[in-house]
Amino acid sequence: MSTLTAKTTEQVHAKGVRFTNGTLHVRLDDGREVSLPLAEVPWLKWLAKATPKQRANWLLEPGGFAIYWPDLDDGIEVCHLLDLQPIA
């Protein structure tokens, strides 16, 4: 019997970020896009409270394993987005 296995979260990396109507969208290198409504994810309160200018200033960590917002001095690892596990 053969089974399909999905990429593990350690192998998937962020390629881009955008925001629409209070939702964070992260484009992944395997073609998927993860969308999270900021108001409904408690561990993203810091990003929900950010200004549009602060949200727009993001960087991909080397290799794309995380997204960092320098103006907010905080970030998100891709594995947490996929597992929907809080960072703290």
**Separation of CA 5 from chain center:** 22
- Residue 8 φ then ψ, to 5°: -75, 160
* pTM of the predicted model as reported, rounded to 2 decimal places: 0.82
Q: Is the pLDDT of residue 6 over 90?
A: no
Number of folded domains in the chain?
A: 1
- Taking a C-beta distance cutoff of 8 angstroms, is the pair 27, 16 a contact? yes
Cα(86)–Cα(81) distance, integer angstroms = 9
Beta bridge partners, 73, equal none
DSSP-derived letter for residue 26 is: E
Please write the tens of the pLDDT for every residue from 11-68: 899 999 999 999 999 999 999 999 999 999 999 999 999 999 999 999 999 989 999 9
Cα(38)–Cα(5) distance, integer angstroms = 30
Per the domain annotation, does 63 fall within a domain?
yes
Task: CATH number of the domain at 77, please.
Answer: 3.30.2020.40
